[in-house]
Structure 1
Amino acid sequence: MIIDTPTRRRELLNHHIDSTIWDDIQLRDDDIVIATYGKSGTTWTQQIVGQLIHAGDPGLNISAMSPWIDLRVPTRQERLAMIEAQTHRRFLKSHLPADALRFDPRVRYLYCARDGRDVVWSLHNHHINANALWFELINDTPGRVGPPIPPADPDIRRYFRTWLEQDGAPFWPFWDNVRSWWAVRDAPNVMMLHYADLKRDLPGQIRRIAAFLDIELAPDRWDAVVEHCGFAWMKRNAAQAAPLGGICWEGGADTFINKGENGRWQQVLNEQDIADYEARAVDELGPECARWLAEGTIPAGAPDGSA
């Protein structure tokens, strides 16, 4: 089977994102890009990759080591200087769709997805607890394209309906993000991950990621890696994972690393809400991708993550 190399076809610019920074990054042979829609297991995947690279080191500050490259803050020059100065194997964070991201055959790309309903519940916690500093950084940093992000609707069901009916509002499109990565899932340097699979079999998924990244650990380091990638450990050490130690949220890092649970929407959404979401998923993604997004899978016999 011939697989086309993913091609960058567009830019994404809004209150959070400026994808043009990828034009200026000097990519390295062993770089890793961790991509998600957001609130889909990003920090968890960063933690796993960081722990694999550094053999279970408990003192890693994942947020500092693995910056969100296409976020508009800090300045473009600061972000570029930060990653250029890194001497460890770099693992860079992005929330771009695949066709707005720069692809390089030397780079490994990990994409982690999550059921959109679970995404919204995590996103609402992130947004409703954002403090004045968060809004100042996002809305007032020069170069914003489009309207500012508004405060979160305190009614989580209304928040969900707005997100569903306006495709990701007030953040950015959801279905397009998932669909773009699903389209390149067979590329040899792309691995598809799913939040539900991480919850079902964390050790197995860590080993799968290690194989994809060509990382070999001494046997006596595996237990430390798995422990430091568990949600309980990450919650206890939330300040090492939350951006800027959590200072942009009420409640700090403990708010950013929240519950790590799926299915909380089941107690709030009614039958029509659920039916509307599921119909939209199939319409936007097709039945196979919609099923994967809802349930996840653990690919058999595909250490590189190809389906």
Structure 2
Amino acid sequence: MAISVPARQLFIDGEWREPVLRKRIPVVSPTSEETIGYIPAATAEDVEIAVAAARRALTRNKGSDWASALGAVRAKHLRAIAAKITERKSELAKLEAIDCGKPLEEAAWDMDDVAGCFEYYADLAEGLDAKQKAPVSLPMESFKSYVLKEPIGVVALITPWTCLELAEVCREAGLPPGVLNILTGLGHEAGAPLASHPQVDKIAFTGSSATGSKIMTAAAQLVKPVSLELGGKSPIVVFEDVDLDKAAEWTIFGCFWTNGQICSATSRLIVHESIAAQFFEKLVQWTRNIKISDPLEEGCRLGPVVSGGQVYLSLPAGSVLYSSEVY
């Protein structure tokens, strides 16, 4: 049976909408290298519509707007979303495995984590109500001061994840129109106009340091805050008194979880010289037991690299690790 991904449009103001220029990006299976669907390619025109929808969501309904919504109200929406994700866990996990090549079992763990994140932030949202207008002690009795927590406004999240199915989950959960808008597209066509948009109050970005630098530069023109989650290195340090079997197991997990294609993957290993040979042998034994296969196959522990472009980028470093030569 042919594998495909759901056909979706852009999600703007609570509705599915075709991109203004009707452009599409092919979705290529990392397993078969076949085109298994298409996603919409947003451009600056779509960014304008989406930002306007988000801005309206802050102030609509004569005061009953999202900006003034109590933490308890926000928490209710977040918990409804978490419940919907749990309800669709198997379906969403399979879609994730098909899209990025990660083992199905790991994708299922991710769905639990996603639901858990929404529950976590629901708790935080409820906690905001108790902290609202908290008094601040001052040395002069003739003055009063308190903390007032206000929404920052329209926030643009530029991430490497395509979350169109999450939009449908949020719509089904009753999230008000315009509170969440999802645009899929390329960096120079959608990301750049979003990062420089004057009606966006903050930018959050996850990705490369090079792109993060460009986003910070764009945000600086309007002195708007940014949150950047960029590249890094995640070392494991193995001391001589450690349980080598447990250390090897967790090192392998860190290296190969999500096919090793995650920012927190173990990318450096620092081992005490007195146990290095013994420890490396244990790692070799573990790797021999890793099943490399189609991510939907039972027992898969390592799927394909996410894209042909990423394979090309990985070849030089991979060839050095394998043979000390670059091909």
What TM-score do the two structures reach when normalised by structure 2? Answer: 0.26
What TM-score do the two structures reach when normalised by structure 1? Answer: 0.27
Structure with the bigger RCO (C-alpha within 8 Å, sep 6+) is: 1
Greater Rg by CA:
2
